[in-house]
Structure 1
């Protein structure tokens, strides 16, 4: 094993319009970290009050078929989604409904202690998974 300590730092999410994507993720509680705004490399770091970080990579080109990793008939290799742990799925589902954000799958039950799982999509059709563990 090349290292003993391993934690997750962030996930990079490619988007087509930084303002639209940032507004969406702000609704989920993520706020821009000015120290991680790097227009030269088209990246914008956002941080959630929990400490979780994401990077919006704002050099995406719109794809008419939707998410090229999940929606296209040929399945290409790549990261398909980011998964988050939440406290209460019922509260999330109610909030998503109030906000007009569609649940694309779930809530369903999956293994490894996941009591409830649901999936949504951001404005660029990137998939976000939410897990209630318990």
Structure 2
């Protein structure tokens, strides 16, 4: 291979309303990076205090079907979710409950108890996975 992949940079998440999505991801600790905003490209970069990045792609069309990659019977190719490693599933669950953010699946143990996973949806029904990895 002529190059090395050094690390993961960001995931792009298509949304219908930038203000609503930015407020939701702000609750998860992400803030706008003014150097990564493009009105022409309909992209808004957000950064977490840990350095983790996401890009909100704000050109989505609302759909009565929900998330077309996961909620419809025909499964089309595409990115289905972003997954984040957290330090405490119990603290995350308590916070989600306080914030009124619905858990759509989990928490459940996976990989023979190696990790606990939990899923939520953003306002556009994009899936977000949280993982507490056990040593």
CA 112–34 in structure 1, closer or farther in 2 if over 3 Å, else same:
farther
Contact 1:83–1:129 (CA<8 Å) still a contact in 2?
yes
**CA shift at 1:112, angstroms?**
8.1
Contact 1:113–1:133 (CA<8 Å) still a contact in 2?
no
Partner of 1:38: 38
Aligned alpha-carbon RMSD (Å)? 1.3
The runs of at least 4 aligned residues of structure 1 exceeding 6 Å deviation read none
SS in structure 1 at match of 2:56:
strand
Alignment of 1:111-130 (within 5 A): 111=111, 114-130=114-130
Give the TM-score, by structure 2 length. 0.95
SS in structure 2 at match of 1:73:
coil
Unpaired runs of 5+ residues, structure 1, are none
Alignment of 1:81-120 (within 5 A): 81-111=81-111, 114-120=114-120
**CA shift at 1:114, angstroms?**
4.1
**CA shift at 1:111, angstroms?**
1.7
Contact 1:114–1:131 (CA<8 Å) still a contact in 2?
no
Unpaired runs of 5+ residues, structure 2, are none
For residues 65 and 100 of structure 2, the distance between their equivalents in structure 1, rounded to whole angstroms, comes to: 23
Work out the number of aligned pairs and report it. Answer: 134
Alignment of 1:1-134 (within 5 A): 1-111=1-111, 114-134=114-134
Give the TM-score, by structure 1 length. 0.96
**CA shift at 1:4, angstroms?**
2.7
CA 93–16 in structure 1, closer or farther in 2 if over 3 Å, else same:
same
